[in-house]
Amino acid sequence: MLTVLVVENSSASSSAGTNTEKEADSGVRFASPNRQRSYGLGLEENFDGSGKVSRSGRLLAQLSVSIVGVQANGDLLVRGEQLIEINGEKQSINLEGRVRPVDVSEGNAVLSSRIADSRITYIGDGVLAESQRKGWLPRILSLLGLL
C-alpha cells in the first residue's frame, strides 16, 4: 500500500469575439424627357457577439492505494478508492496510475503529480450536489435548443 497526496489544481479559460458588418447599396435611375426619377435600395447588416468560459478546480486529499501490479521496468500500478459520507453527502475519490519506486518517499507516500497515466475522479452525491444540477425543465429546453 502507498499513501497518495492528491494536490491538483486546474483552470481553463477561453473567450471568443465576433464582429461583422455588411453593407450593400444599389440604385436605379430612370430618365425621360419630362422627368427624372431615382430609386435606391440599401441593406445593412451588423453582428457583434462575444462569449467567455472560465473554470477552475482544486482537490486536496490523502488517499491510500493498493499496488495491483508491477511492470517489467519496476513501475508500480496502483489503484484506490476513498468514500466519505458527511451529513448525507457522499464524496468518492478514485485514483489509478503508474508510480516509479524512486518517487515514493521514506514515509511511503507519493504526490499525485508524480503518478504517470493517472486517472483521478472526484464525485459528490447528495443534496448539495443535486442543487448544483439544472432542473428537468431547463435540461429539456436546453436539449431542444430553446435555452
Give a yes or no: residue 46 inside a domain: no
What is the pLDDT at residue 108? 94
How, if at all, do strands 109-111 and 2-31 pair?
A: parallel
What is the pLDDT at residue 34? 73
Range of the domain at 77: 2-7+53-143
What is the pLDDT at residue 130? 59
Q: Which residues pair with 132 in a beta bridge?
A: none
What is the pLDDT at residue 142? 75
What is the pLDDT at residue 64? 93
What is the pLDDT at residue 126? 64
Give a yes or no: residue 99 inside a domain: yes
Phi, psi (rounded to 5 degrees) for 141: -60, -35
Give a yes or no: residue 41 inside a domain: no
Give a yes or no: residue 30 inside a domain: no
Give a yes or no: residue 48 inside a domain: no
Give a yes or no: residue 114 inside a domain: yes
In SS3 terms, the chain reads as: CEEEEEEEEEEEEEEEEEEEEEEEEEEEEEECCCCEEEEEEEEEEEEEEEEEEEEEEEEEEEEEEEEEEECCCCCEEEEEEEEEEECCEEEEEEEEEEECHHHCCCCCEEEHHHEEEEEEEEEEECHHHHHCCCCHHHHHHHHCCCC
Domain count, the chain: 1
Give a yes or no: residue 89 inside a domain: yes
What is the pLDDT at residue 131? 56
Q: pLDDT means per 10 residues in the chain (147 residues)?
A: 87 79 73 73 74 79 93 96 85 93 94 93 70 67 72
What is the pLDDT at residue 109? 94
